[in-house]
Chain A
Amino acid sequence: DSGVTQTPKHLITATGQRVTLRCSPRSGDLSVYWYQQSLDQGLQFLIQYYNGEERAKGNILERFSAQQFPDLHSELNLSSLELGDSALYFCASSVDGNSYNEQFFGPGTRLTVL
């Protein structure tokens, strides 16, 4: 158990819909990262937040957005969903944003778009 929690575990929805994925980092961690993993693909970095502010952006679509709240939990919003958005979405956290700290990953949310 990494200490990072993600809800829900599974989500099934239809094309065109909007969903929100939630992540609670490990206690004391200030940085949150979001990743997408499609079937048989590696992890694609989406976005990083540090203490409530966006720090780095990866391959995040304009239909996707995220935020980190004052209590440091984070939400990833996916809108106008397409079939290709079906994937595992992982959240990770680290103590801060510097290079000496590993990321701790949550169990993931499996999104299925029908």
Chain B
Amino acid sequence: DAKTTQPPSMDCAEGRAANLPCNHSTISGNEYVYWYRQIHSQGPQYIIHGLKNNETNEMASLIITEDRKSSTLILPHATLRDTAVYYCIVRVDYPGGYQKVTFGTGTKLQVIP
């Protein structure tokens, strides 16, 4: 299964874009990239996912490189409430409809006033 590598921590000024990188160099063709975040020991919250194309929703944008070996989550205008641990996850689908998700230790994003 593909593993992900993320920087352990990042700071971002409030109102600026937060760009969180993730390396998944061993990803294979059927593996999706998912991003979740966890605010202070609450249950993780889904943000966005993608396979090959860039994706955008009301929370964030996901940029996946053409070779799919890395991706970047972009929070366009970070607020203090975006302070959280952000997990980049590769999700593997197996025959029969089940999947396996491996969370790493994530990136702790601190948004600074």
Using CB atoms and an 8 Å cutoff, list the residues of chain A in contact with chain B: 2, 4, 33, 35, 41-45, 48, 50, 55-56, 58, 88, 90, 92, 96-99, 102-108
| Number of A-B residue pairs with CB-CB distance less than 8 Å in the complex they form | 64
Q: Are the C-beta atoms of A43 and B87 separated by less than 8 Å?
A: yes
Contacts known (A43-B87, A50-B98, A108-B41); A99 close to B103, Cβ less than 8 A? no
Interface string of B74-113 (1 = CB under 8 A from A): 0000000000000100010110111111111110000000
Q: Contacting B93 at CB < 8 Å: which of A48, A99, A105? A: A99
**Given contacts A50-B97, A56-B98, A98-B97, is CB(A43)–CB(B103) below 8 Å?**
yes
With contact pairs A42-B87, A42-B104 given, residues A99 and B46 touching in the complex (Cβ less than 8 Å): no
Instruction: Check A90–B91 contact: CB distance below 8 A.
Output: no
Quote the shortest CB–CB distance from B77 to chain A (angstroms). 23
Contacting pair B103 A97 (CB below 8 A) = no
Q: How far is the CB of B30 from chain A (nearest CB, A)?
A: 8
CB atoms of B101 and A103 under 8 A apart: yes
Asked if A42 meets B41 with Cβ closer than 8 Å, knowing A50-B97, A98-B93, A103-B101, the reply is no
Distance of A114 Cα from B91 Cα, bound (Å)? 35
